[in-house]
Amino acid sequence: MPRSLLIISRQSPWSGPSAREALDVVLAGGAFDLPVGLLFLDDGVFQLAAKQDARALQQKDLSANLQALPMFGVDDLFVCGDSAAERGLDPKVLSLEEAQVLSTGEITALIDRYDQVITI
Amino acid sequence: MSTLHVLSHSPFGDDRLTSCLRVIGAEDALLLSGDAAYALQPGTAPFNTLGTRGLNLFVLAEDAQARNLQTPDWAEVIDYPAFVELSIRYDKVNSWL
């Protein structure tokens, strides 16, 4: 039985490579058929904001990669509801419809459920 | 002596913005770049604070556009040449690294 892995992505999309690296770890885990979960926490929820435009910064858009996660077998997607609310994002209109909105208490239980956790 | 304060970190991650607003003077200006532009996200605590302060407030166009942030009428959108002009117009630049 492979060990399950939870990635906690808590960096905003355009401030550096962290958001993309977290996604790479998730996709790599998915490719090896590990049970992988991805939680967007703190500024990480900005990765799910609508209508971002990476061209202004001459970068590649991350949101297309996020949409592809279920295709790579990563279905366990979670968003911290408090982080989204504090940042003025409506959890109902985030760009990743599959993501479940969790309360702080539910996040504690989520982390508890996985064998290993990586926060990026 | 006037100062241009430059913030580039998210207002939700630490207290740079709070500290800056505590020390900023009436002749000074504040420029939001990078993740600091998230302070213009409507309905948030940083947005509401900035809206009531009547600051000379600027935001870099690229950073607002990338994050889909609409600029309120109490902030001015500028490009990089205007950023250079601002840093010359003010006596000094304080970057909150």
Q: Structural domain tally of chain A?
A: 1
Q: Answer whether A111's CB lies under 8 Å from A7's CB.
A: no
The CA-to-CA distance between both ends of chain A, in Å, stands at 25
Q: Chain B contacts of A42, Cβ < 8 Å?
A: 12-13
Query: What does the pLDDT look like over B3-22, one tens digit per residue?
Result: 999 999 999 988 999 999 98
What tokens appear for A61 in the block? 């858009």
Of A14, A55, A86, the CB nearest to B67: A14
Q: Would the CB atoms of A56 and B43 count as touching at under 8 Å?
A: no
Q: How far apart are CA A45 and CA A52, in angstroms?
A: 13
Q: Structural domain tally of chain B?
A: 1
Range of the domain at A63: 5-50+59-119
Q: Token pair 């790599």 is at which residue?
A: A28
Of B34, B45, B66, the CB nearest to A52: B66
DSSP string, chain A: -PPPEEEEE-S-TTSSSHHHHHHHHHHHHHHTT--EEEEE-GGGGGGG-TT--GGGGT---SHHHHHTGGGGT--EEEEEHHHHHHTT--GGG-S-TTPEEE-HHHHHHHHHHSSEEEE-
ipTM: 0.75
Alpha helices, H only, chain B: 16-23, 45-53, 61-66, 80-89
Instruction: Give the Cα-Cα-Cα angle B28, B44, A15 (nearest 5 degrees).
Output: 75
Mutate to test the interface with B, among A51, A55, A57, A82 (most CBs of B within 10 A): A57
Q: How far apart are CA A20 and CA A61, in angstroms?
A: 10
Q: Answer whether A85's CB lies under 8 Å from A102's CB.
A: no
Position A15 scores a pLDDT of 80
Q: Would the CB atoms of A52 and B68 count as touching at under 8 Å?
A: yes
Range of the domain at B59: 3-96
Position B68 scores a pLDDT of 94
Residues 6+ positions from A110 with CB-CB distance below 8 Å:
A6, A37, A39, A78, A102
> What value does the mean pLDDT of chain B take?
95
Q: Would the CB atoms of A43 and B41 count as touching at under 8 Å?
A: no
Residue B71: CATH number of its domain: 3.40.1260.10
Query: What does the pLDDT look like over A85-114, one tens digit per residue?
Result: 999 998 887 888 889 999 988 998 898 899
Which of residues 23 through 82 in chain B touch A, CB cutoff 8 A? 34-35, 38, 41-45, 47, 61-63, 65-68
Mutate to test the interface with B, among A14, A89, A94 (most CBs of B within 10 A): A14
Residue A103: CATH number of its domain: 3.40.1260.10
Query: What does the pLDDT look like over A26-53, one tens digit per residue?
Result: 999 988 889 999 999 999 999 999 888 8
Query: What does the pLDDT look like over B15-57, one tens digit per residue?
Result: 999 999 988 989 999 999 999 999 999 999 999 999 999 999 9
pTM (predicted TM-score): 0.85
Q: Chain A contacts of B10, Cβ < 8 Å?
A: 12, 15, 43
Residues 6+ positions from A102 with CB-CB distance below 8 Å:
A39, A78, A79, A80, A81, A110
Q: Would the CB atoms of A53 and B38 count as touching at under 8 Å?
A: no
